[in-house]
Amino acid sequence: MRRRVRVPKDRRNRPGRHLEMIVIYVKKDRYDVELRMESDRKGNRGGLKQTFHLFHPESDFHTSGTDLAKMKKTFKEHIDKMDEVTWEKWIEVQVDDGIHLPQYAKDTEYHIDFEFRVFEQGLSKKGRKYSRNLDGSNMIGRWETTGHRTSKYSYVKHTPELEAALTEIGKRIVQVRQQLAELLSQKTLQQTLQLVIENKFKVLPAPE
């Protein structure tokens, strides 16, 4: 048994017979759209041709057709166009300072992890923010604390110069690790420690 729906006066002059209010979701937003239908005789066999009408006055939308699925898609594209997103490149910098190590870690264990990635942040006309990878895929949500380590995140608008500077920092970290491995090798360990005792050990020099 179909429930009779009362149609407001401002909708009674629209084409077709009112069927129901259907719900269409666009980017998790709910939109109540009115669905109407017309039926006409088609051909000599007495078949019925059904034409659907979708109305959404709040967004000034109305479309008609026989394929309801395509009409819903048209509505979603209409809403997307109304809420276009402006995208900008940003850089996310992550540094793990190693302060929160697991309980079984030794007091003499030291490390630092550094990484960065370029992504896009979008702002819609409605003021909503979105984030995506450069290939257009959604960014996986991150946690400030991963496992036993605590990572610090920083953000800056992308420029080629800033990306190149972060890449250079990464290269220097690698070079520092290599230099440290040499300074603490069996061949030079005694000499390095003696320099530290005599307060003559200088900070590892920056690469040329």
pLDDT digits (tens, 9 = 90+) for 133-189: 888 776 654 433 334 445 688 899 999 999 999 999 999 988 888 888 998 999 999
Residues 77 and 126 in one domain: no
182 found inside a domain = yes
Q: Please tell me the pTM assigned to this model.
A: 0.55
Residues 77 and 118 in one domain: no
Domain region containing 15: 9-82
Last residue within a domain, chosen from 39, 57, 82: 82
Strand (E) or helix (H) holding 59: none
3 found inside a domain = no
Name the pLDDT band for 9 (thresholds 50, 70, 90). Answer: very low
Q: Is the model's pLDDT at 129 over the cut of 50?
A: yes
Name the pLDDT band for 15 (thresholds 50, 70, 90). Answer: low
Distance CA 118, CA 114 (A): 14
Nearest to 34 by CA among 59, 51, 12, 55: 55
User: pLDDT averaged over the chain?
Assistant: 77
- The answer to whether 55 touches 62, Cβ cutoff 8 Å, is yes
